[in-house]
Amino acid sequence: MKFQSSINTLQTLSSLDWIVFSLILIFVFLAVYLGNKFRNRKINPILDYIVMGRTLTLPMFIATLSSSFYGGIFGVNEITFNYGIFGFITQGVFWYIAYAVFAIFIVKKISAYKTITLPELTTGLFGNKAGKITALFSFMYVMPISYVLSLGIFINLIFGIGLVYSMLAGVVVVCLYSAGTGFRAVVFSDLVQASVMFSSIIIAAIFCIKTFNGFDILFTNLPKTHFDPTGGNTILHTLTWGFIAMVVLIDPSFYQRCFATKDAKTARRGVFISIALWIVFDICANLGALYARAVIPDANASTAFFTLALQILPVGLKGFFIAGILATIFSTLDSFLFISSNTLIYDMIRVRSKNFVKISFFSMFAIGLLCVGLTVLFNHSFKAIWMTMGSYYSACILIPVLLVYIKPNFIGDRIFTASALSAAFIMTLWNFTKVNLLIPGLDSFYVGLATSILVIGISKVVLFKNETI
The string of pLDDT tens digits covering residues 35-67 is: 777 766 666 778 888 888 788 899 999 998 988
Helices and strands, counts by H and E, the chain: 23, 0
Instruction: Supply the pLDDT for residue 325.
Output: 93
126 in a structural domain: yes
Instruction: Supply the pLDDT for residue 356.
Output: 83
- 4 contacts 307 by C-beta, under 8 angstroms: yes
The answer to whether residues 368 and 411 belong to one domain is no
- 346 contacts 117 by C-beta, under 8 angstroms: yes
- 417 contacts 130 by C-beta, under 8 angstroms: yes
The string of pLDDT tens digits covering residues 380-417 is: 899 899 999 999 999 999 999 998 888 888 888 999 99
Residue 467 confidence class, pLDDT cut points 50, 70, 90? low
The contacts of residue 80 (CB under 8 Å, 6+ apart) are 86, 87, 88, 91, 285, 286, 289, 290, 293
The string of pLDDT tens digits covering residues 104-140 is: 999 988 887 878 899 999 998 899 999 999 999 999 9
Distance CA 328, CA 310 (A): 17
401 in a structural domain: no
The string of pLDDT tens digits covering residues 13-31 is: 999 999 999 999 999 888 8
Instruction: State which of 171-180, 200-209, 334-343, 397-406 shows the largest mean pLDDT.
Output: 200-209
The answer to whether residues 97 and 243 belong to one domain is yes
Cα distances (Å, whole numbers) of residue 352 to 75, 127, 342: 37, 19, 11
Instruction: Supply the pLDDT for residue 465.
Output: 60
| Number of domains observed in the structure of the chain | 2
**What CATH number is associated with residue 337?**
1.20.1730.10
The answer to whether residues 321 and 416 belong to one domain is no
Instruction: Supply the pLDDT for residue 40.
Output: 62
Tell me the three state secondary structure of residue 261: strand
Distance CA 70, CA 284 (A): 13
Cα distances (Å, whole numbers) of residue 457 to 128, 423, 452: 21, 13, 9
The answer to whether residues 232 and 304 belong to one domain is yes
Cα distances (Å, whole numbers) of residue 93 to 106, 238, 256, 279, 398: 19, 12, 23, 8, 19
Instruction: Supply the pLDDT for residue 146.
Output: 93
The answer to whether residues 72 and 199 belong to one domain is yes
Last residue of one domain, picked from the residues 356, 375, 395: 395
Continuous segment of H or E residues that includes residue 85 = none
The string of pLDDT tens digits covering residues 142-196 is: 999 999 999 999 999 999 899 999 999 999 988 887 766 788 888 888 889 999 9
335 in a structural domain: yes
The answer to whether residues 260 and 293 belong to one domain is yes
The answer to whether residues 364 and 252 belong to one domain is yes
The answer to whether residues 230 and 340 belong to one domain is yes
* Range 416-425 burial, b when 16+ CB lie within 10 A, else e: bbbbbbbbbe
Q: Give the range of the structural domain holding residue 463, as residue numbers without chain letter.
A: 407-469
127 sits in the region (left: phi over 0; alpha: psi -120 to 50; else beta) called left
Cα distances (Å, whole numbers) of residue 10 to 319, 369, 454: 11, 27, 56
The DSSP symbol for 56 reads: B
The contacts of residue 197 (CB under 8 Å, 6+ apart) are 67, 70, 281, 324, 325, 327, 328, 331
Share the mean pLDDT of the chain.
Answer: 90
Distance CA 297, CA 300 (A): 8
The answer to whether residues 434 and 378 belong to one domain is no
Instruction: Supply the pLDDT for residue 15.
Output: 96
The answer to whether residues 377 and 467 belong to one domain is no
The answer to whether residues 312 and 233 belong to one domain is yes
Instruction: Supply the pLDDT for residue 42.
Output: 62
